[in-house]
Homo-oligomer: A and B are copies of this chain.
């Protein structure tokens, strides 16, 4: 009798603590990295990223991409597997990746396209001078441009006049 009551109790406890599972099956929680570097601390919004950049006096990298864009996916593979890039981003940059445009037009100096990588100085100045190889899409990079991208990271690390 006590045993039966205990069983009922256990079932009740199990039921009440059962987590919600969608009809379509359990999902893997979405991550902020979206495949661009699981070990990096990604900002969630541009406002947050700017705040971090200012307060920590580090340059900000804003990366626009889409998961159904083959150019984004090709770049992502090279980008996420390059330990030099990942280490430099982790230690010396504030990072933000977005699958959506912001309302700030300074982040699309020559239009909205993906993949597109814009650096922002901790003084909140968009570094429109740090560009890739393509005159029609100045902030785009392809997998073969990874060396150029690294030298652009070095440029971004040379801060504009810092506010004291």
Contacts and interface: CB of A to CB of B under 8 A. Distances in A.
A22 B41 CA distance: 11
Interface of A: 17-22, 26-27, 29-33, 37-39, 41-42, 44-48, 51, 81, 83, 86-87, 90, 98-103
Contacts of A86: 20
B39 A22 contact: yes
Overall SS of chain A's interface: loop
Nearest to A23: B91
Contacts of A83: 18-20
A47 B90 contact: no
Nearest to A100: B48
A20 B33 CA distance: 14
Contacts of A44: 32, 44, 98-100
A98 B51 CA distance: 14
Nearest to A49: B100
